[in-house]
Structure 1
Amino acid sequence: MSTVAWITARGLFGRRRVLLLLPLPMLLVGLAWLCRAYDVDPAEWGAPVLIGLGLAVLLPIVSLIVGTGVLGSEVDDGTIVHILTKPLPRRDIIMAKLGVAVVVAAATAAIPLFVAGWLAHSPALGGALAAAAVVGAFAYSALFVLMSLLTRRPVLLGLVYILVWEGLLGRFVSGSRVLSIQQYVITIADKITPTTLLDGKVSLPVAVVMGAIFVLGCAVASVDRLRSFSVAGETS
């Protein structure tokens, strides 16, 4: 399992795709620093930067890039067959891949969110955003790893979920928020450090329970899907 994780991390950081992880964190911290440097009232820029850019764009996009990258490329080029021939339980393969995705996505999103939250309000808010980002990284990564096993266009499907389901329907259709990872993350951060800059639309029990369902459900489904690859002997 550790060997699979090491190979996955080396392959992920060896691709140009990893360069896509840098612009959004830099933009988030840069905007927060500029607003703080020019004494702009956090009430005016806090929500658009922290939620609109940080939790609604940075966290899911980074998780999408990483989550679809740890396994999707191997499915596309057929090298997944070589992994399946190893005497490893399919569960261990998925856990190793998912573990790498969560660590990379969480670190890439949590650190700049901590800095931006500190600049906007306080270290406590920064810590709340970072903690919520870690939870979100688990849920998003599990979802996007599963998508990479279900379709050859996981990035497109992931963008539909982020932009249409969370971005569009989440604003105007209240029922869709129950299945929105973004709303779970906002609620968790708001409950850890209550502030007017954050406004969760779902209750904390819903955020915790549904977040756990996303992680466990997608992980179990990914293991089951990977087993079907070995049975069918193909990657489609």
Structure 2
Amino acid sequence: MYNPTVARLTYRAVLGRRRAAILFVLPAVLLAIAVAVRSFNGVDDRIAADVLGGFAIAAMVPLIGVIAGTGSIGPEIDDGSIVYLLAKPVKRSEIIFTKLIVAIAVTMAFSAIPTFIAGLILNGNGQQVAIAYTVAALVASIAYSAMFLLLGTVSRNAVVIGLIYALLWETLFGSVVPGARTLSVQQWSLALAERIAGEGLIGSDVGLPLALALLAGVTVAATWYAGQKLRVLKLAGDE
């Protein structure tokens, strides 16, 4: 199912100069915020949780997911170069699976690792805050990667739509609007973080069993549908 050649091409596309610059900016901002907050406020578990929840999980992870997920296939479809890959004797489900793995790996690397480091800076992992939010970033990375990979296969405006979703739904509505919170990947991932961290530091509107089911369901459904869309994508001259 995993194709090393497809993976190498996908890593090259996702980590191109322009996208790589954006990928590094968001973690750098998080670490700068963590250093500044620690300098002015000292060690405070509540503030650490607020910073990691308010910026890392609510904003950084979905935005990186947009960049990695759409970037793993969207540009190839936009410029037509996907036809060269589809012409090879490689199953289209294998292409989607490989690109998903690459998107997940990139999203995790640029979101979970900085989240853990920022947590250590903020409060030295007191009350398991750093680990809790790192786990949340890891599981959210999987769902976001699948969602935005699918978006890249169905729309030429995948990046714009993904950014609107990440900034409006996950960052704004998913954080403050009660009804929307239950349909937010952010809240599903926080349900797991809530179980790990000290009592009262992290909250989620979704119970853990339901959150895990929704995370798995969205990931599987998005990956399957992306495979279906790629399967019916016709090459030039196909009839």
Shift of 1:195: 4.3
2:44 is matched with which residue?
42
Shift of 1:17: 1.4
The one of 146, 161, 164 equivalent to 1:160 is 164
Q: Does 1:120 align with 2:113?
A: no
Q: Does 1:176 align with 2:180?
A: yes
Shift of 1:20: 0.3
TM-score calculated relative to the size of structure 1: 0.91
Distance of aligned partners of 1:115 and 1:24 in 2 relative to their CA distance in 1, 3 Å threshold? same
* Count of residues in Structure 1 that have an aligned counterpart in Structure 2: 234
Distance of aligned partners of 1:134 and 1:171 in 2 relative to their CA distance in 1, 3 Å threshold? closer
Distance of aligned partners of 1:169 and 1:38 in 2 relative to their CA distance in 1, 3 Å threshold? closer
Distance of aligned partners of 1:172 and 1:126 in 2 relative to their CA distance in 1, 3 Å threshold? closer
**Does the CA contact (< 8 Å) of 2:173 and 2:180 recur in 1?**
yes
| Mapping of residues 199-214 of structure 1, within 5 Å | 199-214=203-218
Partners of 1:232 and 1:184 lie apart in 2 by: 41
Measured against aligned partners, the alpha-carbon deviations of 1:39-97 in whole angstroms (never above 9, x if no partner) come to 44635633442111110111010111111111000010001111111111111100111
Partners of 2:38 and 2:152 lie apart in 1 by: 40
Measured against aligned partners, the alpha-carbon deviations of 1:203-234 in whole angstroms (never above 9, x if no partner) come to 11121000001110000000000011037869
1:190 is matched with which residue?
194
Distance of aligned partners of 1:48 and 1:192 in 2 relative to their CA distance in 1, 3 Å threshold? closer
Q: Please list every run of at least 4 consecutive aligned residues from structure 1 whose deviation after the TM superposition is greater than 6 angstroms.
A: 231-234
Measured against aligned partners, the alpha-carbon deviations of 1:137-189 in whole angstroms (never above 9, x if no partner) come to 10000000000111111112112222222233334543322321011111211
Identical amino acids, percent of aligned pairs: 38
Partners of 1:14 and 1:87 lie apart in 2 by: 26
**Does the CA contact (< 8 Å) of 2:45 and 2:123 recur in 1?**
no
Distance of aligned partners of 1:196 and 1:77 in 2 relative to their CA distance in 1, 3 Å threshold? same
Distance of aligned partners of 1:47 and 1:232 in 2 relative to their CA distance in 1, 3 Å threshold? farther
RMSD: 2.0
TM-score calculated relative to the size of structure 2: 0.90
2:133 is matched with which residue?
129
